[in-house]
Amino acid sequence: MNASTDIDYARYDHIRPILWTGDSLQLLDQRKLPFVVEHVECRGSDAVAEAIHALTVRGAPAIGIAAAWGVVLAAAGVQAADGAQALAKLEPALQRLNAARPTAVNLAWALARMRRALALAGADWQQVLVTEAQAIADEDLAANRHMGALGAGLIEAGSGVLTHCNTGSLATAGFGTALGVIRAGMAQQRIAKVFAGETRPWLQGARLTVWELQQDGIDATLIADSAAAHLMKTGAVQWVIVGADRICANGDTANKIGTYQLAIAARHHGVKFMVVAPSSTVDMDTADGGQIEIEQRDPGELYGVGGTRTVAEGIAAWNPVFDVTPGSLIDAIVTERGVILNPTAVNMRAAFG
């Protein structure tokens, strides 16, 4: 069966967080969702870098796409005879974009791809950059739809699923990674119930995921992050489905903080654990999760909710943004290249070289 033919994309794919206008980048401001739907206009690469750092745009694939368009914006005022000459002038802007979020490998991947295209370009180097950025976005959407079909094929009819953070259209060019699997699974009537963890401290699950699913007519039940293990114990969940910011050569996976504890709880309760991410997220140059730089954000993000302080003054806080789930706790990694069951260094090499 060609599972992708069973998916009504027009019904399950309404949101686009990144819009290129021809001379500016419009980013759906995810800090203000779900109550305010507003776009931030970026007319330069530094504005894009700031938007990435400030979480105006978030999600590993979306960050990469935004950065690619940031390179296009950086090139707008540059005079150069060919791509190689332009690359030397653009390198500082590329470095600033790269520094905006160090953990998400898609950011460095997209910038490396733009560098390669530029290095080979002739006098039409600016148009080459536009074409490459558009290709990165188009390929991501196609990959997400394919991954959705592949991942849904692993799920038994009538299953309940739990997801973490936001991995949908808001985090990608469209359709989503883990949420793409959920969309496909709903379209094929494989998934009976969707649960979403709130995902402190930025509440991407509460603010973004359940809102995004609501736009597509998919009912989702929000839970506190701390309720996940109890939910699994009830038997309501058969799969935990998450995205990834970096997948190592041995299958270790960095994702939003809280993912690791979900994997531990899932293994204890006999719940399957699926990671869904494009192949650009796979970093075969990083041997294992111990080598991943874990981004630390402002401890102040833990001091309140929605701008209202809930913590007494003078309290210290620790705020890592990501954690690493060992490959040994992952049942399936789904990319557009296929499904890797029970990932190890050996079968990761077989899939990615």
Which residue numbers are catalytic? Answer: 245
- Cα-Cα-Cα-Cα dihedral sign, residues 89, 93, 94, 96: positive
Query: Using CA atoms, how far apart are residues 79 and 76, in angstroms rounded to an integer?
Result: 9
CB 83 within 8 Å of CB 122: yes
